Amino acid sequence: MKLAELLENMDVVKLTADPETQVTGLVSDSRKVTPGCAFIAVRGYDTDGHRFIPSALEKGAAVIIGEEAPQGVPAVLVRDSRRAMAVAAGNLYGNPSRKLHMIGVTGTNGKTTTTNLIKTVLEKAGAVVGLIGTNRNMIGGREFPAERTTPDCLELQKLLADMAEAGCTHVVMEVSSHALFLDRVYGIDFDQGIFTNLTEDHLDFHKTMEAYAQAKARLFGMCRRAVINIDDPWAKTMLDAAGGEAFTYSAKSDSADLTARDIKLGLSYVRFCALMTGRLEKVTLPIPGLFSVYNALAAIACAVCAGVPLEAACAAMAQCAGVKGRAEVVPTDTGYTVLIDYAHTPDALENIIDTVKGFATGRTIVLFGCGGDRDPMKRPIMGKIAMDRADYVIVTSDNPRTERPEAIVEDILVGVRQSKKPTPVDVLVDRREAIAHALSIARPGDVVILAGKGHETYQEIDHVKRHFDEREVVAEALQKFKAD
């Protein structure tokens, strides 16, 4: 590709390179530079890519793209390297988002389940759907591992190009606040943007809820139609940011374009009637919890906006399956139930406990920790929520990363001590031991919630990801109980 083609629609301040230069690739990591490629220097939070320009040139970079560059080198000076990288990545892969019906889902909780529900509904309607998310990436029926909720722009544009080439007609993707703030999705044409909810999370990065909300709201200035949960207190922020048409959904208000009526919450399902423009359609989704009603409404609203008839979208809900690590039942062959759930925010922990208490015939035992190097403000909040709502609490470790697990636990215990409810609480920092302890105290009818890890099959300690699959941990503990 010629450099001129790579720079199309880029905000270039100064060009000292020959626009006819043939560029063989595009990288932002100087360690990956190969002869003839373009190196984009990006200022990060830990390091500044501009420092590695000499290394990139030594390895044969044909051109430097950045906010500054040494004199006398072939360079493209831009106002914003992150946005320049997103534009260049799109150009490199032929701007595949323009060939696909793009759906972005953002919010604190519910993104993974909602994207999977949308995928199922659209496929039932005949679409070929690509999925990009926290759990996995999918091209049709093929599955690929996912490293983060939203890939960086280079990986993302390649993935979209692969999806287009494989015949996908639609792509539904989770869009994180980090991805929006750091311009990973800059330049992507979204047909629809969906807002699920906003609760406390990532304040280590965004600092305030207002800043967090504004980061999420960026999606709605990038889409043709916004699909908004108007029951959420931050809905107005999203609606104000919407540059195009908005479609609203609610489980409470008939003023929304789509409303849930006659909600029934069961042990393994939710049922309700979807009301839209005077029409009522019955909905059954085989995933429990009030939050599942909201996820279903988001998926139905999105499908309707994408041209699927309301009746077909509602009927498809009955054929949707749960997502790994989201209210996932672990087979135990015991008189009690074990659930694995990704709940790692205050609102998500509250939701899963309340859901379980709605059907548990015995005690609700919740085991949880909090991630290291992440928002420390939510730790005491989650401690108090667990004490106030559960019948038995076990505080343990999650992904401590570079923090001391004991220090994270102590932050949680601040909230535990604030609760006035005399809930029994145990502290076992080692998560494997904590899980074995939870199973050892469980009685028939109890539900044990293993919260926080969800789909993850590792623990991250001191920059090292160590294999840790809670399904295996449960099986090992039960086997040991039998042997003893």
pLDDT score recorded for residue 260: 98
The percentage of the chain sitting over the pLDDT mark of 90, rounded to a whole number, equals: 86
Asked if the model's pLDDT at residue 157 lies above 80, the reply is yes
Shared domain for 386 and 464, answered yes or no, is yes
- Domain of residue 177, residue span: 96-319
Shared domain for 121 and 205, answered yes or no, is yes
Distance CA 284, CA 247 (A): 22
Do 191 and 223 form a contact (C-beta atoms < 8 A)?
yes
pLDDT score recorded for residue 149: 67
Distance CA 46, CA 28 (A): 14
Shared domain for 157 and 88, answered yes or no, is no
- pLDDT, tens digit, 9 for 90 and up, residues 306-349: 999 999 999 999 999 888 898 898 989 999 999 999 999 999 99
Mean pLDDT of 81-107: 97
pLDDT score recorded for residue 18: 96
Per DSSP, what are the bridge partners of residue 195?
106, 228
pLDDT score recorded for residue 250: 98
Asked if the model's pLDDT at residue 389 lies above 90, the reply is yes
CATH code of 80's domain: 3.40.1390.10
Residue 452 has phi, psi (to 5 degrees) of 115, -40
Shared domain for 261 and 378, answered yes or no, is no
Shared domain for 252 and 357, answered yes or no, is no
Shared domain for 70 and 116, answered yes or no, is no
- pLDDT, tens digit, 9 for 90 and up, residues 142-155: 888 777 667 889 99
Pairing of the two strands 392-395 and 425-427: parallel
Asked if the model's pLDDT at residue 295 lies above 70, the reply is yes
pLDDT score recorded for residue 266: 83
Last residue of a domain, one of 259, 293, 319: 319
**Residue 421 is encoded by which pair of tokens?**
């409810």
Q: pTM here? A: 0.85
Shared domain for 127 and 271, answered yes or no, is yes
Residue 275 has phi, psi (to 5 degrees) of -105, 125
Distance CA 98, CA 131 (A): 16
The tally of domains found in the chain comes to 3
Asked if the model's pLDDT at residue 483 lies above 90, the reply is no
Shared domain for 69 and 108, answered yes or no, is no
Last residue of a domain, one of 319, 350, 378: 319
Do 254 and 262 form a contact (C-beta atoms < 8 A)?
no
Q: Which of 263-267, 366-370, 440-444 has the lowest mean pLDDT?
A: 263-267
Last residue of a domain, one of 67, 92, 117: 92
Asked if the model's pLDDT at residue 430 lies above 90, the reply is yes
Q: What angle do CA 98, 238, 350 make, to 5 degrees?
A: 115
Asked if the model's pLDDT at residue 379 lies above 80, the reply is yes
Pairing of the two strands 328-330 and 190-195: unpaired
Mean pLDDT of 463-477: 96
CATH code of 113's domain: 3.40.1190.10
**Residue 115 is encoded by which pair of tokens?**
């994207």
Distance CA 33, CA 27 (A): 6
CATH code of 404's domain: 3.90.190.20
pLDDT score recorded for residue 358: 84
pLDDT score recorded for residue 148: 66
Shared domain for 87 and 142, answered yes or no, is no
Closest CA to 3 of 16, 13, 32, 98: 16
- pLDDT, tens digit, 9 for 90 and up, residues 38-88: 999 999 878 899 999 999 999 999 999 999 999 999 999 999 999 999 999
* SS3 per residue for the chain: CEHHHHCCCCCEEEECCCCCCECCCEECCHHHCCCCCEEECCECCCCEHHHHHHHHHHCCCCEEEECCCCCCCCEEEECCHHHHHHHHHHHHCCCHHHHCEEEEEECCCCHHHHHHHHHHHHHHCCCCEEEECCCEEEECCEEEECCCCCCCHHHHHHHHHHHHHCCCCEEEEECCHHHHHCCCCCCCCEEEEEECCCCCCCHHHHCCHHHHHHHHHHHHHCEEEEEEECCCCCHHHHHHHCCCEEEEEECCCCCCCEEEEEEEECCCCEEEEEEECCEEEEEEECCCCHHHHHHHHHHHHHHHHCCCCHHHHHHHHHHCCCCCCCCEEECCCCCCEEEEECCCCHHHHHHHHHHHHCCCCCCEEEEECCCCCCCCCHHHHHHHHHHHHCCEEEECCCCCECCCHHHHHHHHHHHHHHCCCCCCEEECCCHHHHHHHHHHHCCCCCEEEEECCCCCCEEEECCEEEECCHHHHHHHHHHHHHHC
Distance CA 182, CA 372 (A): 22
pLDDT score recorded for residue 233: 95
Shared domain for 289 and 228, answered yes or no, is yes
Distance CA 97, CA 100 (A): 5
Confidence tier at 15 by pLDDT (50, 70, 90): very high
The dihedral sign for the CA sequence 121, 122, 125, 130: negative
Do 303 and 121 form a contact (C-beta atoms < 8 A)?
yes
> What is the distance between the terminal CA atoms of the chain, rounded to a whole angstrom?
66
Shared domain for 127 and 235, answered yes or no, is yes
Shared domain for 146 and 177, answered yes or no, is yes
